[in-house]
Structure 1
Amino acid sequence: METSGQGPVQTVQTASSPATTPAAFEKLVRSEFTPRTTYLNSASTGLLPGRAVRAMHEATLSVAEGRPADMFADVEAARAAFARLVGVAPSRVAAGASVAVYSGLVAASLPAGAEVLTAEGDFSSTVNPFHMRADLKVRTVPLERIAESVRPGTALVAVSAAQSADGRIADLPALRAATRAHGARLYLDASQATGWLDLVEHIADVDFLSSVAFKWLTCPRGVAFFVVPDGPEDPDAPGAFGGVLALLAGWVAGERPWDSCYGPVTELARSARRFDESPSLFAYAGARHSLAVIEELGVAAIRAHDLALADRFRTGLAARGHEPVAAPGSPIVSVPGLGVRQAELSAAGIEVSDRAGQLRAAFHLYNTEADVDRLLEALGDS
């Protein structure tokens, strides 16, 4: 908790060098993660690294003992780490707790009558805020057709980078080409991608990006980020930050938060911090350390590890007569008709999800080939 009375500290960390060898990767993972199950459910909730658990314990203990730690410094460290992971300046990143909140801010920024294009079956927090505005025209198409469905008059495309239900990945280059051709904007929910997909190579193609951090980024629940376009010299000019208004601004959204505690905020932050939600400080106390683990391992190494396991699972499924949903290049594998096995598998110590009748397995940095093989053995032949 900030105790100095001077507001959140604007610190910026330098990125850690990623683990350079498989042995170094494995050593770091095993030192931080201690699952007691065959945990293949990171698309629901990622496991917490030991250093994050210890930091949260110390933070809660500091409050219990009447010596609250400066957890606002943790918020700024987490903001800076996320900015590095997606390849933007920290000034473009807002820190909050919910994708739905940031989807709502984007929805509120659109003029009446604007057309929003979404993908069928996308996650509710991504798309529902647009449906809550009766004066918007929301059009929904299959994910595979979303780029070709952008047309003159489309104001915004709102889509997940990877689909929660089955891991299918949006064709981001095609989407950017389509939105540019028709003057539309792109809002990306990267919740199922940050941590394993290199978003740095795609961030220039995105106008707005949101992501929770409790999945592939291995953070505690209560942490989410929102990326907006660069602000102009005058942050209050019309159209600044892509036209998003700080409708939920509280005291932390002030340029000088500790001078913004009472009455209307007289000066909003000149950066994306104007879109901050009042942070869940204990969660951020852990999040800065979780994000440090992701940086130390390196997204490229995590991606290679995750996809190798997912491919091993797909190969094993085919050998047993099961056909997963086609989602090449994704660590999420969903198998139609097998969702009913979820409770049985959980009882056997194998954690997966049941999503609309599909068994969903999600392979992440702490998983091993033995985990894949145990799930395959438990599923058996078709």
Structure 2
Amino acid sequence: MDGEFAGAHSCPMETAERFESLVRAEFAPKSVYLNTASNGLLPARTVAALQQAALVRAEGRPLTALHADVEEARASFARLAGVPADRVAAGASVAAHTGVVAASLPAGAEVLTAEDDFTSVLNPFHVRGDLKVRTVPLERIAESVRPGTALVAVSAAQSADGRVADLPALREAARDHGARTYVDFSQAAGWLPMEADAYDFTAAVGFKWLMGPHGAAFLVVPEDFGGLTPILAGWVAGENPWDSCYGPVAELAHSARRFDLTHALFTYAGLRHSLALIEELGVDAVHAHDLALADRFRAGLARLGHAPVPAPGSAIVSVPGLGVRQPGLSAAGIEVSNRAGNLRAAFHLYNTAADVDRLLDVLSG
């Protein structure tokens, strides 16, 4: 990875050098990878853990350590989310978690959502068929909460263009009208500080900004479970899982683990190490680094005469009309996304100022 790490000037020299040293020890991408909004890169420590997990299975060793990895990952995510680990459920997808939330609502309940939000945070409410799903532009979602709104469901950062929801305003509006809140942090957890305790329910996948393998997602619930029913519960949701393998689960877990789905053990074996890296670096440092790169790209786009979708404070930059450049950029060794005709570039901890300049250079040509 060539180039000075953006954001380093905002930290004491020793802290910046430690950040850069940790990142360089974990990542050596073969391309200019600016596509974390699709998939994060795996740290070297995570790759090594996945290899070791595969050997456990290949050699017929007990899976005890892999089950322990699930709990380590749960605890690490809980620290990042700012909640106790017993409020975190370990699952497989945000869509499944949304389904549990959707199933808890009474027929006729109004769910307020943002236009063109990611499907996983929307579709389970629609397929119920007996809910009133109301959709408004993201910038109007807080002001659109009204008496009778049962739940507001929104992504913290929009997948398509990186716009960041005004979560404090949403939280206040929901509180004023007695509505519950469900926030998907999939495009934010890992670079945007989380305050999961400020909302009724929050969720996030592990394979984007948290840089884990596919197959893991977390759900944060209130201490009293917020009226959710563990409709997807299997044996892992039992208070004593190994005593819950046959017949109905006699005693559900006393914690959010009652909402767990059967664990993808390899995934969690790797994910715990990716989460540990984020904890070592610190979300505040990652946030500053990522935003410095995104702002550098926005400034460069202005010089080229391009105007991105307004998304202040976001690590995701989406440029209308440039999505058609994605194949050519990929051929030039630069990985970005084409989303609805927009070029989407996502900047994370393993990216550098040189990556930004390389993208701008190719776009200018």
Correspondent of 1:215 among 194, 208, 232: 208
Residues 151-182 of structure 1, C-alpha deviations (whole Å, 9 max, x = no match): 00000000000000000000011001100110
Q: Note if 1:243 corresponds to 2:237.
A: no
Stretches of structure 2 lacking an aligned partner (at least 5 in a row):
1-12
Following the alignment from structure 1 to structure 2, what is the Cα–Cα distance between the partners of residues 20 and 129? Answer: 47
The structure with more helix, counted as a fraction of residues: 2
**What secondary structure, in the 3-state scheme, does the structure 2 residue paired with 1:279 have?**
coil
The answer to whether the 8 Å contact 2:286/2:348 transfers is yes
**Equivalent position of 1:360 in the other structure:** 344
In structure 1, how many angstroms separate the alpha carbons of the residues matched to 2:114 and 2:206? 22
TM-score by length of 2: 0.95
Report the RMSD for the aligned CA atoms in angstroms. 1.0
- Paired residues for 1:93-104 under 5 Å: 93-104=88-99
Q: Percent identity?
A: 72
Does residue 143 (structure 1) correspond to residue 138 (structure 2)? The answer is: yes
Equivalent residues of 2:91, 2:262 under 8 A apart: yes
* 1:25 and 2:19 matched: yes
TM-score w.r.t. the length of structure 1 is: 0.91
Residue from 53, 57, 69 that aligns with 1:63:
57
1:42 is displaced (CA, Å) by 0.3
Deviation string 1:298-338 (CA, Å, 9 cap, x unpaired) is 00000000000000000000000000000000000000000
For structure 1, list consecutive stretches of 5 or more residues without a partner in the other structure: 1-18, 232-240
Where 1:132 maps in the other structure, the secondary structure is: helix
Alignment match, 1:16: none
Q: Distance in 1 between matches of 2:212 and 2:282?
A: 16
Do 2:215 and 2:264's aligned partners in 1 also have CA atoms closer than 8 Å? yes
- Runs (4+) of structure 1 exceeding 3 A deviation are none
Q: Is the 8 A contact 2:157 2:165 kept in 1?
A: yes
Q: How far apart are residue 269 of structure 1 and its match?
A: 0.1
Residue 270 of structure 2 aligns to a residue whose secondary structure is: helix
SS at match of 2:153: strand
Match of 1:79 in 2: 74
- Does the 8 A contact of 1:168 with 1:327 survive in 2? yes
8 Å CA contact 2:153–2:183 kept in 1: the answer is yes
1:271 is displaced (CA, Å) by: 0.3
Aligned equivalent of 1:166: 161
Report how many aligned residue pairs link the two structures.
352
Contact 1:59 / 1:68 at 8 angstroms: preserved in 2? Answer: no
Contact map agreement 2:83 2:197 (CA 8 A) in 1: no
Counterpart CA distance in 2 for 1:284 and 1:331 is 26
- Pick from 173, 176, 195 the counterpart of residue 171 of structure 2: 176
- Aligned residue in 1 for 2:3: none
The residue identity in structure 1 corresponding to 2:221 is: V
1:20 CA drift (Å): 6.3
Partner of 1:377: 361
CA offset digits 1:239-282 (Å, max 9, x no partner): xx111100000000000000000000000000000000001000
What is the CA–CA distance in structure 2 between the aligned matches of 1:20 and 1:164, rounded to whole Å? 34
Equivalent position of 1:320 in the other structure: 304
